[in-house]
Structure 1
Amino acid sequence: MRITLVGPAHPYKGGGARHTTELAHRLARRGHDVLIESWRAQYPALLYPGRQTIDVPEGEPFPNTRHELAWYRPDGWWRAGRAAGHRGPGALTVLTVFSPVQVPAYLGVLAGVGRRTRTVALCHNVVPHEPGPADATLMRALLRRVDGVLTHSPDQESLARGLARGADTRVLMAEIPPHLPETGGPPPAHPAEARRHHLLFFGIVRPYKGVDVLLRALARGAPPTVRLTVAGEFWGGSGDLRALAADLGIADRVEFREGYVPAGELAELFAAADAVVLPYRSATATQNVWLAHAHGVPVVATRAGTLPDHVRDGADGLLCAPDDAADLARALAEFYAEGVAERLRGGVRPVDPEPYWDPYVDALTAPVRPIG
């Protein structure tokens, strides 16, 4: 099958680019003829305040990748769709959706495609965790124009079905597979009994990630010798969280490491942590449990989204209620009880990606309508 993936690839950074690239490799290994239509300008700086690109790839780039799309060039959207449509009636065009901001560009791509190929919206998020007033309207317009939608959780599947209601759109769900960055080899070896007295939050810092809840829980639940590093890009800056840490009396126990963390620095970052804490208020899917486990680190997480599917409570991590500082404090106190941290670290196993990728690729390439 001839497949066009419209989505980010290197030099764009982060999980979205890694997912698009790994998916292209997986499809090509199955014998498909794959092209990535990537971006040379994906978002206006005003809408994405962080760093958008990196110099060093975090995995093997996909060779058949073009970088012609720009958010400010509607003619380029149409041309990319036209090129995808010309790949023939047996072809498939996949639009990787991260934000409703992309919808105008993707509607332009679909206008170029016409009805010459099957089209699928691969939705990393159907609507944002912190939605704006126009987000549902934009996504409804997109999901009603494509032949199929692939989502990553039952909640997202239900949301997509609601937005696409009344259209001849097939909505499927498949759990997003592991697509971890290359971090330069296996994690450093450490004695199982070693205590670092150090917790780590890793990832983009946004309100739905619940870092404020973690700060409150740290102040009341973790031993006073335990420190926390919050590492990642801060949307809106770190001022409010720094002020909260000061108000809670834990400013000297919290390090705010602002900015994107390159893959080459991850092994050292994770090696310094007793546990990764993911205090999400809401979630669809995240790679950070698997990333922590790849480095031998247990995870304390909320029961949000797919997090409880990846953390085995009491075996390789602990679970707590979302948006509940008291319950997270209870989990941190339990983690630092005698022998618990060591036992959980001993239960950590790296994820095997293969059982996730086969059904995912099957769902993406499942026929959604005949082309004639």
Structure 2
Amino acid sequence: MRIAIVGPTYPYKGGGAQHTTELAHRLTAAGHDVVIESWKAQYPSFLYPGQQTIDVPEGEPYPKTRRRLDWRRPDGWVAAGRRLRSADLVVLAVLSPVQVPPYLGILLGTARKVRVVALCHNVLPHERKPWDEPLMKALLNRVDGVLTHSGQQAELARTLTRKPVTTVALPPHLPARSPARGEGIHHRLLFFGIVRPYKGLDLLLRALPEGVSLTVAGEFWGGIEQTRQLIAELGIADRVELRPGYVAADEVPALFARADALVLPYRNATASQNVWLGHEHGVPVIATRVGALADNVRDGVDGLLVEPGDAEALRKAIERFYEDPERLRAGVRAVDPEPFWSDYTGALLRA
């Protein structure tokens, strides 16, 4: 089958780019002829405040990649659609409603001569704008099928379209190498990844017990001054290390090696790689019962689960963790990606 995936890949960074790249590799290994239609300019900087591209790949780049799409060039969107008319399947990787106008331009160019699936990492953003829902309705009602990564996201998609919606778990796209694993108890926790309000860093700061330190590593999408102010108000500046900015792949193992646990205090979530990332580095995960986080943490075996939005419950979970941290560390196992990818590619092709 000739398949075109439209989405970010190297030199773009992050989970969306890693997923697009790994999906192309997996479909190619299954015998399909795959091309990635990617971006030379994906978002205006005022809509994506973080670092967009990187110099060193986060995985093996996919060779058959065309980087021609530009958010400033609608003519290029339509031209991409014309190029894709020879494909048997076009997969639109949807990470944000900001992508909808280019994707509608691509659909205009295909002239409905090819089947199209919208692969929705998020059906709607965690922090929504008034135009998000109308944009997503416009896109989802013009494709042939929708793929989501959780039942909750599937239900949301069905409120926006009557097109078929398929659900399958997001598969792991993790570093191929075996990372270094930490030894001993450091009395230090890790919050890792882009910092946004829905991820609940403020709850974790309020929950941090005496004698426990915290490293916060990742890009702040606004709110860093409020975070510093909260740290000062709580009197924990001597125990909180802020490392704002993109964390390069070769710096990640050292971060996890000095942490006793990864904490994911999200208020809400869809799917996330971070539980698997923590386990890949031999680190237990303390997470809230939201989205797919709860599906990937075995409560009391390789991590602990708490209800979202409750700083006191989170504090008690951290204290419970430190009663016997080695027990949970012993329960951590790296995930086997193969069954997840087999299910995922099969579901995508059926969608």
The normalised TM-score by structure 1 is 0.93
Change in CA separation of 1:307 and 1:350 when aligned onto 2, cut-off 3 Å: same
Residues in 1 aligned to 2:139 and 2:67: alpha-carbon distance in whole angstroms: 23
The correspondence for 1:316, drawn from 302, 312, 316, is: 302
Residues in 1 aligned to 2:181 and 2:148: alpha-carbon distance in whole angstroms: 37
Q: What SS is found at the alignment partner of 1:94? A: strand
The correspondence for 1:255, drawn from 217, 226, 241, is: 241
Give runs of ≥4 in structure 1 deviating > 6 Å.
none
Matches within 5 A, 1:1-372: 1-87=1-87, 91-165=88-162, 169-182=163-176, 185-191=177-183, 194-218=184-208, 222=209, 224-337=210-323, 340-366=324-350
Q: What SS is found at the alignment partner of 2:266? A: coil
Contact 1:271 1:295 in 2 (8 A): yes
Change in CA separation of 1:190 and 1:209 when aligned onto 2, cut-off 3 Å: closer
Backbone CA RMSD of aligned residues: 1.0
Contact 1:187 1:295 in 2 (8 A): yes
> Which deviations, in whole Å up to 9, do the C-alpha atoms of 1:80-124 show, x marking residues without a partner?
11111133xxx0011000000110010000001122110000000
**Equivalent position amino acid for 2:217 in 1:** A
Q: What runs of 5+ residues in structure 1 fail to find an aligned partner? A: none
Residues in 1 aligned to 2:129 and 2:344: alpha-carbon distance in whole angstroms: 30
How far did 1:323 drift?
A: 0.7
Q: What SS is found at the alignment partner of 1:163? A: coil
Q: What SS is found at the alignment partner of 1:164? A: coil
Residues in 1 aligned to 2:305 and 2:48: alpha-carbon distance in whole angstroms: 31
How far did 1:314 drift?
A: 0.4
Residues in 2 aligned to 1:155 and 1:112: alpha-carbon distance in whole angstroms: 32
Q: Across the two proteins, how many residue pairs are aligned to each other?
A: 351
Residues in 2 aligned to 1:187 and 1:4: alpha-carbon distance in whole angstroms: 32
Residues in 2 aligned to 1:60 and 1:258: alpha-carbon distance in whole angstroms: 26
Residues in 2 aligned to 1:44 and 1:161: alpha-carbon distance in whole angstroms: 30
Q: What SS is found at the alignment partner of 1:188? A: coil
Change in CA separation of 1:351 and 1:255 when aligned onto 2, cut-off 3 Å: same
**Equivalent position amino acid for 1:118 in 2:** R
Residues in 2 aligned to 1:297 and 1:187: alpha-carbon distance in whole angstroms: 11
Contact 1:38 1:66 in 2 (8 A): yes
Residues in 1 aligned to 2:253 and 2:51: alpha-carbon distance in whole angstroms: 21
How far did 1:189 drift?
A: 4.6
The normalised TM-score by structure 2 is 0.98
Residues in 2 aligned to 1:351 and 1:69: alpha-carbon distance in whole angstroms: 34
Identity among equivalent pairs (%)? 64
Q: What SS is found at the alignment partner of 1:34? A: strand
**Equivalent position amino acid for 2:7 in 1:** G
Residues in 1 aligned to 2:3 and 2:104: alpha-carbon distance in whole angstroms: 18
Change in CA separation of 1:356 and 1:189 when aligned onto 2, cut-off 3 Å: closer
Contact 2:182 2:258 in 1 (8 A): no
Residues in 2 aligned to 1:271 and 1:189: alpha-carbon distance in whole angstroms: 5
Residues in 1 aligned to 2:28 and 2:281: alpha-carbon distance in whole angstroms: 29
**Equivalent position amino acid for 1:11 in 2:** P
How far did 1:188 drift?
A: 2.7
Q: What SS is found at the alignment partner of 1:156? A: helix
How far did 1:186 drift?
A: 2.5
> Which deviations, in whole Å up to 9, do the C-alpha atoms of 1:15-72 show, x marking residues without a partner?
1111000000000011111000000000000101111000011111111000000000
**Equivalent position amino acid for 1:279 in 2:** P
Contact 2:181 2:281 in 1 (8 A): no
> Which deviations, in whole Å up to 9, do the C-alpha atoms of 1:238-280 show, x marking residues without a partner?
1111101111111111111000101111110100000000000
